[in-house]
Amino acid sequence: MPKIVRFYQTGAPEVLKLIEEPLIAPRKGEVRIKVEAIGLNHAELMLREGAYAADPVLPSRIGIEAAGTIDALGPGVRGLAVGDKVAAVPFLSWDKFGYWTSDSLKNYGVYGESAVVPAYTVAHSPANISAVEAAAIWCQYLTAWGALVEHAKVGKKDFVLITASSSSAALGGLQIAKLEGATVIAQTRTRAKLDFLFSAGADHVIVSDEESVPERVREITAGQGFTVCYDPIGGHFMSELVTAAQPCGLIINYGNLDTRPINVPILPILTKRIYFKFHSVFDSVRIPRSRARGYKYVHDNVAAGRLKVIVDRTFPLDQVVEAHRYMESNQQRGKIVVTVP
């Protein structure tokens, strides 16, 4: 029987339990994957803690991103075959109005040796990368593609500010903004990650514990301000972003690292005519045409070496608790991946 991860109550990393369960046959429209590597995401920390957008249905499986080999197909699946090297792309279920539901949390999860997922959330892995790399590309690059390419249409004239820039999601945004020709300004709290961010492709780095983000952005942009910001922080930091933006600038928030209410005076937003976009990778997966464009963009650019995933550290499956502890420490510089024997 395959080993999988469940949690029976919400809480600290120790609630994650590795257990054996019978192999599950995929249902209509589903695919079963023999998992080789699992990409970790902050959404899973929030789900485990009971602080996610949807509540877990206990005892809950967990995980939204993994790579491996298809070992079974459900009825009606087309375009995929047993033996294909694939990745499970992050998704949430939704109702007819587009509201997120808990159905996906109740029925799916990829932490473990075997995972069943809907076929539309499966993408072929580029042939020239490892399973570890394949498990690390989709959440970060597809999220950034939807925000920066599909929505913002960033290009050579843009100054793009990437906040919390050493996380895997932010590094995906940094690489895609550079690929599209933008000038990239990375924000980090401490000087410890300065050299790393320059090596990752940042044109400028702001150390926010030592420097004013708005003042440095104005200096870098010769008074203009950023055109686009790609931000997972939100909260009270949003007021600094409004100050640092150019008139009619765009702030794209894709996370909730600062869980306090957004603290932004209305007048600066009005006088600058700021645009806000609250973004999720799940919308790129939910909409078929967008999903197809995003899958192709990520696959082709990774295969060509134009996007190069940065894996910070790997943990074996039986150390999944330690992997969650490490993610909570915020030490990472890139993706954390759990490997499966």
Q: What tokens does 125 get? A: 């892995």
pLDDT score recorded for residue 155: 98
Domain residue spans of the chain: 3-137+309-339, 140-280
Q: What is residue 94's DSSP assignment?
A: B
pLDDT score recorded for residue 265: 83
78 pLDDT band, cuts 50/70/90, is: very high
CB 184 within 8 A of CB 201: yes
Residues near 35 by beta carbon (within 8 Å), at least 6 away in sequence: 66, 67, 68, 110, 112, 113, 114, 115, 340
Q: Which position has the token pair 């070496």? A: 305
**According to the CATH classification, is domain 140-280 in 3.90.1150.10?**
no
Q: Is the pLDDT of residue 206 over 90?
A: yes
- Selected residue with higher pLDDT from 260 and 141: 141
The tens digit of pLDDT for each residue in 287-322 reads 999 999 999 999 999 999 999 999 999 999 999 999
Distance CA 128, CA 47 (A): 33
Angle at 274 between CA 268 and CA 279, to 5 degrees: 130
Residues near 92 by beta carbon (within 8 Å), at least 6 away in sequence: 53, 54, 100, 101, 104, 105, 280, 282
Distance CA 150, CA 143 (A): 10
Distance CA 15, CA 24 (A): 23
pLDDT score recorded for residue 129: 97
If we measure between CA atoms, which residue out of 208, 92, 231 comes closest to residue 152? 231
* Chain mean position to CA 196: 20
pLDDT score recorded for residue 258: 86
Residues near 24 by beta carbon (within 8 Å), at least 6 away in sequence: 32, 114, 116
pLDDT score recorded for residue 53: 79
Q: Are strands 335-339 and 30-39 parallel, antiparallel or unpaired?
A: antiparallel
CB 136 within 8 A of CB 335: yes
CA atoms lying within 13 Å on the CB side of residue 252: 26
Residue 205 Cα distances to 1, 153, 185, 190, angstroms? 49, 23, 6, 10
Name the CA dihedral angle for 284, 47, 299, 161, rounded to a multiple of 10 degrees.
70
CB 39 within 8 A of CB 110: no
pTM of the model: 0.94
Q: Which residues pair with 331 in a beta bridge?
A: none
Q: What are phi and psi of 210, to 5 degrees?
A: -115, -20
CB 303 within 8 A of CB 127: yes
- Domain covering 3-137+309-339, topology: Quinone Oxidoreductase; Chain A, domain 1 (3.90.180)
What percentage of residues in the chain have a pLDDT greater than 70?
100
Q: Are strands 3-7 and 30-39 parallel, antiparallel or unpaired?
A: unpaired
Residue 127 Cα distances to 160, 164, 175, 303, 304, angstroms? 31, 31, 21, 7, 10
Q: What mean pLDDT do residues 87-93 have?
A: 94
Distance CA 19, CA 13 (A): 15
Distance CA 183, CA 221 (A): 10
243 pLDDT band, cuts 50/70/90, is: very high
